[in-house]
Every structure is written in structure tokens, then in C-alpha cells.
Structure 1
Amino acid sequence: MPYSPKKPCRYPGCPRLTHNTYCDVHARQVSSYYNQYQRPKRIRPRYHRGWPKIRQRYLLRHHFCEMCLSQGRYTQATEVHHVLPLEHGGTNDFNNLMALCKPCHSRITAQMDDRWHKAPRQYHY
């Protein structure tokens, strides 16, 4: 399947073209900024140094997006989602994790309003 054309990085003043929202350099900066300043203080400790290892182990066992698989599509999983968010008592246990592609993870996060701290909703697929 052909790729869509690259578009400019959305970071102010960046001339790089990318398929994502931000180029690789600025994606790390924006993520770091979010984790440091926008993620609620009570949640920061829950994303400890062990989280990248947990995430990587889960993705090694679950290669495809679980939502796309339920619809008969094979899409590579790139992100790990907490079914019950850590903020609401969830854990990093594999039973509480889902392997998702970027579009599915963004859609679920927006529907849960997790980043904007509204009432929690759980989505089990």
C-alpha cells in the first residue's frame, strides 16, 4: 500500500518532513515535555524506569494491534495501552495491557479523555 506524502513537522520552525505529527527529534522532545510538565504528578512515579522494559516485553509477545486483529486487519503494534489507567488503579500486569497501533491508541485515549483528566472509561475489546 502506498504511503501518504510527508508533511511538515508541527514543531514551530522545524523544516523537516515526516509521516507523523513530529519528526523523530521533536517527537522525543514533545514526549519528554509532556512527561515532565503535563502528566499529573501523582502518575509520574508509576511510569518508572522499568516501564520501557515491560512495554518492550509485551510488544515482543504481541506483534499486532489487538483492535485491528478483532476487525480482521493485521497492523503492527507500536504502542502499549493500559486498559485500566494507572491513575485509576490499573497496574503494569500483562492482563491490563493491550498492544495497539498509533491510530487505535490515539482514538482510545481521546475517547477515554485520559489526557485531559475527565471521568475515566474503560474499553475492553
Structure 2
Amino acid sequence: MPYSPKKPCRYPGCPRLTHNTYCDEHAKQVSSNYNRYQRPKRSRPRYHHGWSKIRQHYLLHHPFCEMCLSQGRYTQATEVHHVLPLEHGGTNDLKNLMALCKPCHSRITAQMDDRWHRKPRQYHY
């Protein structure tokens, strides 16, 4: 399957080209910043190095988006979804995971998660 052309890294001032949103160097930094400053505090302890290994293992054994596959489309899975969210009592058990492409994961998250309906963030200066 041919790749789409590379695009500039979205990190301000970075000239590198990448197939992803950020180059490898800045992807780690952006992920770290998200985990530190934007991920809800109640779920921070649940997403740790162990989760990264579980995620990689699951994607290795489930390379296609499970929702697209059920519709007869072969789309590469890039994200792992918790069927029952961790904050609602779910676990990292393989039976509670689902390999999805970015659009399908965004769609499911928007439908079931309160992330998009949350009160605006309060900043205190």
C-alpha cells in the first residue's frame, strides 16, 4: 500500500518531514506533555509504561481496525480502545481491548466519552 507524501512535523519550528503528526523526537515530547498536563488526573496512573507494552502487543496481533474489518474494509489499526473505560471499572485485559483506526476511535470516543461534554478547563493565574 503506497504511503501518502510526508508532511512537516506540527511542532512549532521543526522542519522535519513525517508520515505522522509529529516527527519521532517531538511525538515523545508531545505525548509526555499530554500525560503530564492534559490527561485527566484520575486516569494518569492507569496509563503507564506497562500500558505501552500491552498496546504494542495488541496492535501486533490485531493489525486491522476491528470496526472497519466488520464492514469489509482493511484499515491499519493505530489505536487501542478500552471497551469498558478504565475510569468506569474496565481493565487492560485483552478481552476489554479493541484495535481501531484513528477515525473509528475518535467516533467511538465522541459517542461514549464525556471528554467532549466536559466543562471548559479553568485556568488560574
TM-score by length of 2: 0.77
Q: Deviations over 1:20-64 (max 9, x none)?
A: 221221111111110111111111111233212222332233221
Structure 2 CA distance for partners of 1:116 and 1:26, relative to 1, 3 Å: farther
Which one has a larger percent helix, Structure 1 or Structure 2?
2
Tell me which residue corresponds to 2:65. Answer: 65
Structure 2 CA distance for partners of 1:82 and 1:22, relative to 1, 3 Å: same
Query: Deviation at 1:113?
Result: 4.7
Structure 2 CA distance for partners of 1:76 and 1:25, relative to 1, 3 Å: same
Q: Does 1:53 align with 2:59?
A: no
Tell me which residue corresponds to 2:123. Answer: none
Separation of aligned partners in 2, 1:69 and 1:95: 17
The share of aligned pairs that are identical, in percent, is 89
Which has the higher mean CA deviation after the structures are superposed, 90-99 or 101-110? Answer: 101-110
> What are the within-5 Å matches in structure 2 for residues 111-122 of structure 1?
111-113=111-113, 115-116=115-116, 118=118
Query: Deviation at 1:100?
Result: 1.3
Separation of aligned partners in 2, 1:27 and 1:114: 25
Q: Deviations over 1:57-113 (max 9, x none)?
A: 322332211011011111222221112221222211222110112332233334445
Separation of aligned partners in 1, 2:13 and 2:83: 36
Tell me which residue corresponds to 1:32. Answer: 32
